[in-house]
Structure 1
């Protein structure tokens, strides 16, 4: 099933923009009321939803990898008021769009494979939604906006009710400056009794949300926050030493995990590598280094690609590789998709077992 989906997608992928246009046309023809669920400025959104959906469909033969993600997505989509009928309508539009572009290549075998794959995905998302027993979303008020540079800001949000996330997870957020445009951000702190969350945001060039967050967020803005997602929280059963690798604002979930370890008394030897193109990308290093000075279980190594100064020179994955091997460690990698791919490849080549390396799905830059 998944192999047939992958093979047929290879024929459609060069016309992905046309596919997206056809998909949304069919979707709104079947369900005009669904238009209110999407941003007013729809064209930029087209480049995000459909590739993510196809990415998942091509991997339905990996249930261990996908099932937790799909369950989380199902719970997350409750904030839109999504019902079972919406899933059916999306499936009809998706298969109809692929059929139109494939033409004669849309055989009975291909149709059955796409239908079966979509059925698996939608069923797991619906099960995840049904299992959600908390609020569909929360409200939070911005209490501080600290701009570190023209394209980087630290934003503190006071949740009005506790959000049951774990250090290393991320939340979808919607702001008054970009209604109906949700983006994922990772809290840089573990859950606190007062409900305060700190987010690190970099303005992505050409992004729809992150530039507005960095430039236009104001104290007292009210955000909506979706259910926690992601698979980076620590494995409580493991006693192996830890290797935590961050690139750019991937420092946020890594900092949350390290802070949680400090609260627990540093039960595991932990090596943290923080990388960036320039020193400004290492904004989290001073606070992590200060914690390391008080914590004998923690080492922090900064890595800079240009004008390294006192940091190690090179891409963070290469620097990690020079300090290896890391064959006996649990590894968590957080950053851009390109940074994660390069770092994971370096680690695997050096002998780290792939099943000990964890990172979030490589779908897109989450905060664009």
Structure 2
């Protein structure tokens, strides 16, 4: 026992006892390491029979029985463990907490099983599922999955569902799952094979701006040009949260120099945004993948004027569309409502004002829910003057206060909550729902 100078024997003994009962740094490190691939599978709890397996009735159609197994609350945890053991690559492809990704898989798989069952042999209904899988395969091209990956994924899925079903698992479920999985993986491969260009493109962070305490503007240069349409979003993989892909909308059109700009807000509880906003730095390497979505200005005759509504970092795809419109000699009139919680959160207003200075067809209306910035926000840039003075209120209240906008094509971008509230509010005042377009990256 080592005694600290100045302490008595009783204190030293007490400290030693406390230290002995407290886990050491080595013990904490070891407890964080997943050793399951190196342990005897016979001792793995995944292989132990469940005390309460999912009841499977022979009267239930096999597709619906598989759906009930997939949607069981225990499925995601069991499946995550099965995947980790099925192939070492899955540990890199999936984030450490795979519940979010596998939750999306559960929703997609249950929809596919229900749709095929309810189709009752209708080829058009079944084709919807196959086409969905092809689109998914095009997106999954970024993962560079091999035939081995599909095989091991299927084996892990089968073993997990068999484990959940317990004695209820039979040949009809096994055969049905095999057929469904074969059809879906074939469509996934077809979708991936139809892609053009590189599946993944590297990009280097060259500049980082922090206009507010919870927003970061990241400028990158990609190794090769990423060709996307204004208003689309890209799948992005960063080093801050391994295995987590997120969809970010570029704030500027694609160009031969490979320059790209993303706006990211720190979302409380987000799997990536917090670590990205706090940790991004010049020189970091990102991976960019296939552009998705389509938010565009309709130029078909007769051309209608445009209403754009952006909440927070939702300004990025709409600003990208505006910059692209600057390339045209003639444009429809655009009325842009740009909103945020506090006035200082309207961080992109200076850029928008610069655009409007050379675009007589563009009108900008700033909106903030509060009149002043909170004391804890710190120093912020002075906002430029705009033709229309800033209005106070929620975006939906301010926008609908001007009327129904029924003659406009309406483009929205922002958080899911903002999109829901704005669509609901605009439809309530008479905006035709078919006139409203939005994309949720």
State whether TM-score is above 0.5: yes
Judge which range, 315-324 or 78-87, deviates more.
78-87
Change (3 A) 1:112 1:263: farther
- Aligned equivalent of 1:52: 104
Tell me the distance in 2 between the aligned counterparts of 1:165 and 1:198.
Answer: 13
Q: Paired residue for 1:276? A: 340
Aligned residues: 353
Does 1:147 find its partner at 2:210?
A: yes
Flag the 1:209–1:325 CA change in 2: closer, same or farther, 3 A: same
Would you say the 8 A contact 1:26–1:97 is kept in 2?
Answer: yes
Check whether the contact 2:69–2:75 (CA below 8 A) recurs between aligned residues: no
* Preserved contact between residue 275 and residue 303 of structure 1 (Cα < 8 Å): yes
Q: CA deviation at 1:198?
A: 0.9
Structure 2: distance between partners of 1:64 and 1:346: 35
Equivalent position of 2:308 in the other structure: 244
Q: Which has the higher contact order (CA 8 A, sep 6+)?
A: 1
2:410 to 331, 340, 360: 331
1:22 and 2:78 matched: yes
1:317–1:342 CA contact under 8 A, matched in 2: yes
Q: What is the CA–CA distance in structure 2 between the aligned matches of 1:64 and 1:285, rounded to whole Å?
A: 46
- Partner of residue 268, structure 2: 205
TM-score, scaled to structure 2: 0.68
Checking the alignment, whether the CA contact within 8 Å between 1:75 and 1:136 is kept in structure 2 is no
Question: Residue by residue, what CA displacement relative to the aligned partner does 1:274-299 show, whole Å, maximum 9, x if unpaired?
Answer: 12111233112232133223322112
Instruction: Provide, for residues 190-217 of structure 1, a one-character-per-residue CA deviation record: whole Å limited to 9, x for no partner.
Output: 1123221111111222334222322222
Q: How does 1:150-229 map to 2 (within 5 A)?
A: 150-229=213-292
Deviation at 1:315, TM superposition (A): 1.9
SS, match of residue 328 in structure 1: coil
Query: Is contact 2:212–2:345 with CA below 8 Å preserved after alignment?
Result: no
Q: Match of 1:42, SS?
A: coil
Alpha-carbon offset, residue 107 of structure 1: 11
Q: 1:175 to 1:240 in 2, by over 3 A?
A: same
How many Å separate the matches in 1 of 2:333 and 2:111?
35
Match among 367, 380, 384 for residue 303 of structure 1: 367
1:321 counterpart = 2:377? no
Q: Do the aligned partners of residues 244 and 95 (structure 1) sit closer, same or farther apart at CA in structure 2, a change above 3 Å counting?
A: farther
> Partners of 2:226 and 2:286 in 1: how far apart?
13
Instruction: Tell me which residue corresponds to 1:81.
Output: 144
CA distance in 2 between partners of 1:344 and 1:102 (Å): 43
Which one of the candidate residues 295, 301, 306 is aligned to 1:232?
295
How far apart, CA to CA, are the structure 1 residues paired with 2:63 and 2:334?
A: 41
Q: How far apart, CA to CA, are the structure 1 residues paired with 2:65 and 2:407?
A: 37
- TM-score normalized by structure 1? 0.80
Q: 1:64 to 1:279 in 2, by over 3 A?
A: farther
Secondary structure of the corresponding residue to residue 88 of structure 2: helix
Moved more, 206-215 or 120-129: 120-129
> 4+ residue stretches of structure 1 with deviation over 4 A?
4-13, 57-72, 87-124
CA distance in 2, matches of 1:64, 1:299: 45
Report the RMSD for the aligned CA atoms in angstroms: 3.7
Change (3 A) 1:168 1:301: same
Change (3 A) 1:134 1:69: farther
* Secondary structure at 1:147 match in 2: strand
CA contact under 8 A between 1:57 and 1:121: conserved in structure 2? Answer: no
| Alignment-derived partner of residue 201 in structure 2 | 138
Greater Rg by CA: 2
2:189 to 98, 122, 126: 126
Q: Aligned partners of 1:290, 1:251: CA distance in 2, in Å?
A: 15
| Mean Cα deviation higher: 184-193 or 75-84 | 75-84
In 1, are the aligned partners of 2:342 and 2:368 still within 8 Å (CA)? yes
Distance of 2:431 and 2:145 partners within structure 1: 41
Question: Structure 1: which 5+ residue stretches go unaligned?
Answer: none
Q: Higher mean Cα deviation, 320-329 or 64-73? A: 64-73
